[in-house]
Amino acid sequence: MILPDGCEQQARTGTSRLDRFISKNSTFSLSDTRFLIAQKRILLDGCVAHSIQQKVTEFTHVVLDGHCLRDNNPVYIMLNKPRGVVSATKDAKHSTVLDLIRHPQKNELHIVGRLDLNTTGLVLLTNDGAWSRKISLPETKLAKTYEVTLSKALDDQYIDVFREGIYFGYENITTQPACLEILSEYTARLSLTEGKYHQVKRMFGHFRNEVLALHRVSVGHLSLDGLKVGQSRLLTLEESVNTTQKPMLL
Ligand code: URA
């Protein structure tokens, strides 16, 4: 069997039905797939394929006649982002979060929930689009927790206003209930379940209180836990599964 040029590259994206995947990534047609199945020539994750309707995800290991058509492992990484590093995969001016990662698949990774240039703390990177979508969806209600240092003194009024929500005119929305814990006169811990543009700075901006330092300490159950600034580590399989299956509510 001859594989068309670049078929392994094409095979890296999206979820599709087995017959569509085979016709896209080999010289066989959609209708040939039934015969390939009957002749037990296709393996999906090591098991003989049994139906043209089986789903092939971006991480299904697909073998046809002993040739690997797709072999892509999911990667989940947490990084403690330093100040001055941009949450992007490429940037002409600044170093990027990707510059801090050493992993053979690093060029496949995307960022899950960006932090501003001067914000520090937990950034997640992955090549698993379904995982990052689930984490980012407001319906998942995953708490993102920040430590905030402010220019003016805080008082208890902030707690009620943040819980009730703040109107953002630009998006015409009211922010979801957020949990504010005042740690000292000028510092607080804030947990949000959404990630609007500059959300934390704009929420304190409602009180004309400038954010001097912002540090994300956790996303759901994932926290930096001693990971030094600029360092990264792979998530365990359990951590990656728990992040989306057992979200931590406010
Ligand atoms: N909110 C902000 O204002 N900035 C960030 O980087 C993250 C949340």
Domains of the chain: 6-70 (3.10.290.10), 76-245 (3.30.2350.10)
- Confidence label for 249 from pLDDT (cuts 50, 70 and 90): low
CA distance 145 to 121: 10
pLDDT in tens, 117-164: 999 999 999 999 989 999 988 888 899 999 999 999 999 999 999 999
Instruction: Residue 42: count other Cβ atoms within 10 Å of its Cβ.
Output: 25
Distance 119 CA to ligand 1 centre (A): 7
* Residue among 146, 194, 212 whose CB has most ligand 1 atoms within 8 A, to mutate: 146
* CB-CB contact of 126 with 116 (8 Å): no
pTM, two decimals, is: 0.84
Distance 73 CA to ligand 1 centre (A): 31
Q: Which two tokens stand for residue 6?
A: 């670049």
Q: Which residues pair with 187 in a beta bridge?
A: 149, 184
- Taken in order 33, 39, 42, 43, the sign of the CA dihedral is positive
* Residue among 86, 115, 124, 202 whose CB has most ligand 1 atoms within 8 A, to mutate: 115
Minimum-distance ligand 1 atom for the alpha carbon of 192: 8
User: Across the chain, what does the average pLDDT equal?
Assistant: 91
CA distance 21 to 30: 8
Distance 216 CA to ligand 1 centre (A): 9
Question: What element of type H or E holds 183?
Answer: strand 179-184
pLDDT in tens, 20-75: 999 999 999 999 999 999 999 999 999 999 999 999 998 999 999 999 999 889 99
Respond yes or no: is residue 5 known to be catalytic. Answer: no
Cβ–ligand 1 contact at 217 (below 6 Å):
no
